[in-house]
Amino acid sequence: MMKNKKIYMLLTDTGTLFTRMIKLYTKKPFNHASIALDENLMGVYSFGRTSRRNPFFGGFVKENISEELFTNAKCAIYCCTVNDYQINKMNAYIQKIESQKEIYRYNLLGLVAIMLNKKFNRENAFFCSEFVASVLMESDNFNFEKPLSLITPHDLQKEPAFQLVYQGKLADYTKPGSDSIA
């Protein structure tokens, strides 16, 4: 018998210069997407900066939401119910990428392609929302109306299977004893 579990999608605004530049273009409050397979957000995965000082060096990241980068981050956290089979498929996909993370890159050119509304696939390269969408597709439970290389955090936010469970400062969500977790 399959049990239902929840997965979590985080949309964040860290306030970094790179984030502010993207926000100027999108005019959206949240421009970074991550996925977590547990409600405590202990395993948060995305594609983003791998160098604290340089946002242009990026790739697969396991994010630690207690790190300085997220200290003052604003966020929206969404959850979705999936079954064991689906979560196992997503987890295997994430673990495969994590085990080969040295061959994966941040798809910076893909961000330019989004601005031009042009599909642009790069082998072993993702930007954050493209990665989250690919993880969701792995579950065989999600289909997107446009190519993954054009999926934005805002598109993920509109995915009907997800419900908003928290919006505010990320640090407030993660405080021990916080009652903001759904």
Least confident of 39-48, 65-74, 98-107, 171-180: 171-180
181: pLDDT strictly greater than 60? no
146: pLDDT strictly greater than 60? yes
Q: Whole-angstrom Cα distance, residue 46 to residue 127?
A: 8
What average pLDDT score do residues 108-123 get?
Answer: 91
Which residue segments constitute the domains of the chain, with CATH numbers given?
4-173 (3.90.1720.10)
pLDDT, tens only, 61-89 = 999 988 888 888 999 999 999 999 999 99
Give the sign of the dihedral formed by CA 123, CA 78, CA 4, CA 171. positive
Residues 106, 127: contact at Cβ < 8 Å?
A: yes
pLDDT at 182: 43
Among residues 160, 161, 173, the alpha carbon closest in space to that of 83 is found at 161
90 or 21: which leads in pLDDT: 90
C-alpha 163: how far from chain center: 15
Query: What tokens appear for 26 in the block?
Result: 């999108």
133: pLDDT strictly greater than 80? yes
Secondary structure (3-state) at 139: coil
State what percent of residues in the chain have pLDDT above 70: 92
What average pLDDT does the structure give for the chain? 89
Q: What is the DSSP string of 38-103?
A: STT-SSEEEEEESSSS-TTSEEEEEE-TTSGGGTT-EEEEEEEEEEHHHHHHHHHHHHHHHHTGGG
What average pLDDT score do residues 173-182 get?
Answer: 54
17: pLDDT strictly greater than 50? yes
pLDDT, tens only, 28-67 = 989 999 999 998 899 999 998 887 777 668 899 999 988 8
What average pLDDT score do residues 130-155 get?
Answer: 94
Residues 1, 55: contact at Cβ < 8 Å?
A: no
Backbone angles phi, psi at 42, to 5 degrees: -80, -30
Least confident of 47-56, 85-94, 139-148: 47-56
pLDDT at 50: 83
